[in-house]
Structures are given as C-alpha cells and as structure tokens.
Amino acid sequence: MSSTFDQIANIIAETCDIPRDTIKPESHAIDDLGIDSLDFLDIAFAIDKAFGIKMPLEKWTQEVNDGKATTEQYFVLKNLADRIDELVAAKNAGTGA
C-alpha cells in the first residue's frame, strides 16, 4: 500500500496537472506548487473520498487566520499527510474526524 504522502501527491498531480516528480514531501501546496483555492477544493474532495474523512479545512483556515497555526502545518505535504493520518486514526478509533 502506498504511503499517505504518495496518495496525496498522486491526487495533486492528477487534479492540478503538476508533474508527479516535482511534488515532494517538503513541497508547500500553495507557495511551491501554486495550488489555488479552487484546485484545493478538488483536491480536498479527492482526499476526503480516498481516505473516508472530512478534512476540517475551515477550522484549519481559521487557525491560520487567528495566528494559532502556520500554513506550513497544514499545507506542507508531509505535514498534511500527518494531519490526514491523524484524521484516519481518529475515525478508526471512533472519535470522529
């Protein structure tokens, strides 16, 4: 089974037509890959479907806007993969995502 990062990278490559080999764990989805909010909706839909979760994008955005989190925590892909793993673990533990 491919890693969470690989699955995300494949989704981004397919959704945004970005060459797969340019997508790295250290890539920032917005600053490095140039993904805009509309494309991110598409990506979020694909990730939600692939992992059976509901990424709390609005909560994350609010945290960034309030200065409680940085965009790197959510939009650097290795960090995004960690957040997704946490959401999947919470879902499997029955604690909700």
| Residues of this chain that bind other proteins (CB under 8 A) | 38, 41-42, 44-45, 48-49, 54-59, 61
- Compute the least distance from the CB of residue 36 to other proteins, in Å: 11
Cβ proximity to other proteins: between 25 and 57 the closer is 57
In the structure encoding, which two tokens stand for residue 3, read together?
Answer: 């890693």
**Min dist. Cβ of residue 46 to other proteins (A):** 10
Nearer to other proteins, 20 or 54 (CB): 54
All residues at 6 or more sequence positions from 52 whose CB lies less than 8 Å from its CB, including other chains: 88, 91
Q: What is the dihedral of CA 69, 87, 40, 60, to 10 degrees?
A: -20
Query: Which lies closer to other proteins via its Cβ, residue 20 or residue 59?
Result: 59
Q: How far apart are CA 58 and CA 23, in angstroms?
A: 24
Of the two residues 18 and 97, which places its CB atom closer to other proteins in the complex? 97
Q: Provide the 10 A C-beta neighbour count for residue 51.
A: 18
Cβ of residue 37: shortest distance to other proteins, in angstroms?
Answer: 9
